[in-house]
Homo-oligomer: A and B are copies of this chain.
Amino acid sequence: MRTHELVLSWIEKQLSDGHLVLGGRLPAERALAEQLEVSRTSVREAIRILEAMGVVRASVGSGKDAGTVVIAEPATALGSALRLHVATQHLPVADIVQTRVLLESWAVSRAKADAPELKEAARLLDEMDSSSAVDDFLALDVAFHLALAEAAGNAVVSTIMGSLREAIEGYAAALTANLPDWDSTAKRLRCEHRAILAAVNDGDGARAATLVAAHIEGYYREAGLGQPPAETRP
């Protein structure tokens, strides 16, 4: 077992045992190195891995927020990992979109009509109405879909959904350039959002699931994602 893995397992044990909790601080790198009788380099490598996994955040300086603190941001971490594997062409973008449709359909079909996240979702839709910039629209769109997913009450589903979205964020942003008429597309998307939210609020999970699947697939289809080149199609 390599040295940094020893540090990793020590930290994981501290987490499991509750000696290290969310918001808590790890010992300073130098102190931890001395305590575990390893070099600071090995400690740093372990912390890098934890940082990449969204378990800790390292900040320089002194006092309050400084040092290495325990956080819980699995979505960004999983998103980066998935993005890299998309880059190696081991994970097709089409499969990611399909998985997102699956998870989000399930989420809206299970969302409770009285979930507080739905109020936030409604607020986001109002904000989208008054924002015309493409970037703002897309950022609000992400937040809306995430709020919708969180309404189902399954942290794993919403986390994975967020990471899938993040993994293909670059592709999605590039695809908007393919759209023939952004204004009309945005108008349609707003409309579909309202319909989805209405279905959820009505407690009609099945309809919400159908709508959200069509909404996502329709967008990527319009933008031309996952379509093989025309000349290879029958």
Contact = CB atoms under 8 A, between A and B. Distances in A.
Interface of A: 4, 12, 15-16, 21-22, 41, 44-45, 48-50, 52-55, 70, 72, 74, 77-78, 80-85, 87-92, 95-96, 98-99, 102-103, 106, 154-157, 159-160, 164
A225 to B, nearest CB: 14
Nearest to A164: B156
A124 B16 CA distance: 34
A16 B93 CA distance: 13
A154 B95 CA distance: 6
A83 B16 CA distance: 10
Contacts of A82: 74, 156
Nearest to A15: B87
Contacts of A16: 87
Contacts of A81: 53-55, 74, 77-78, 81
Contacts of A87: 12, 15-16
A98 B102 CA distance: 14
Contacts of A103: 102
Given A81-B77, A156-B98, A4 B48 contact: yes
B48 A99 contact: no
Given A102-B157, A157-B95, A157-B99, A55 B84 contact: yes
A174 to B, nearest CB: 12
B95 A156 contact: yes
A155 B90 contact: yes
A48 B50 contact: no
